[in-house]
Amino acid sequence: MTQSNNDISSNSTELNKQIVLQAYASLKAGNVAGYFDSMADNITLTYFGNHLFTGTYRGKKDILDNYVPVLLNRLEGPIKITVTNAIAEGDQVFVEAVGESKTKDGLDYNNLYGIVLRLQDGKITEVREYMDTELVKAIFG
């Protein structure tokens, strides 16, 4: 018995969703390396809006060199992301999520996110993230 294309597509869609959910579960558990392991080396990460992080980071090295240090300079540690909803279709997964963190001076940084992810060969290759940009500006300037 052979699988139909719809079954194969459905299986890869579910697998992509599980990869994304596991990536955010790793981040929430403080396993930053596990989170980055889910990404392709040539990932693109785009933040929309008008704030300090707006733009596109190209590749893990760019993210680790130019985004993560700025984030961790202000926050006590990584943002704990809780996925509240996940929808997958083909190579794309959309998640709604809540982030929890504190700044080094004790302020809450609890943002809401809408994140579109694209996967290829079991790795996240693209992230497009929408968030409360006013909160980003209030915390990061």
SS3 content of the chain, % helix, strand, coil (to 5): 40, 40, 25
How far apart CA 91 and CA 89 sit, in angstroms, is 6
Q: What contacts 110, CB < 8 A, 6 or more positions away?
A: 98, 99, 100, 101
User: Any alpha helices (H) in the chain, and if so which ranges?
Assistant: 5-28, 32-37, 60-62, 68-74, 133-140
pLDDT in tens, the chain (141 residues): 445 555 656 789 999 999 999 999 999 999 999 999 999 999 999 999 999 999 999 999 999 999 999 999 999 988 999 999 999 999 999 999 999 999 999 999 999 999 999 999 999 999 999 999 999 999 998
pLDDT for residue 130: 97
How far apart CA 40 and CA 19 sit, in angstroms, is 12
Tokens in use for 36?
Answer: 């980055």
pLDDT for residue 77: 87
How far apart CA 57 and CA 49 sit, in angstroms, is 14
How far apart CA 122 and CA 18 sit, in angstroms, is 10
